[in-house]
Amino acid sequence: MGAFSVWHWLIVLLIVVLVFGTKKLKNIGSDLGGAVKGFKDGMKDGGSTAESTTTAQVAQDKASADKATIDVEAKTKG
């Protein structure tokens, strides 16, 4: 009832390989590795640079939203 044994994991691995195939699993692994590497690089380079960029983008979006906003009053036909 506890943890699975080594044989259980080997059977699960065999079924996964049969269902997906080795080429697709290799592609998934390389995509996942690239995503993790990109995340680590982003965390390393991030910090204050990302915060200042985000703050500048929010200020710019707010300014452009103020210019694009049209204040109208809806009137009902009656």
Half-sphere exposure of residue 22: CA atoms within 13 angstroms, side-chain side: 1
- Give this prediction's pTM: 0.40
Residue 45 pLDDT:
82
- What is the CA angle 52-55-59, rounded to 5? 140
The pLDDT of 9-16, averaged and rounded, is 91
**Residue 34: what residue type?**
G
Locus of tokens 């910090």? 47
Residue 58 pLDDT:
62
Name which residue leads in pLDDT, 1 or 71: 71
DSSP 56-72: HHHHHHHHHHHHH----
pLDDT in tens, 14-70: 998 898 888 888 888 899 999 999 999 988 887 655 455 556 566 666 555 555 556
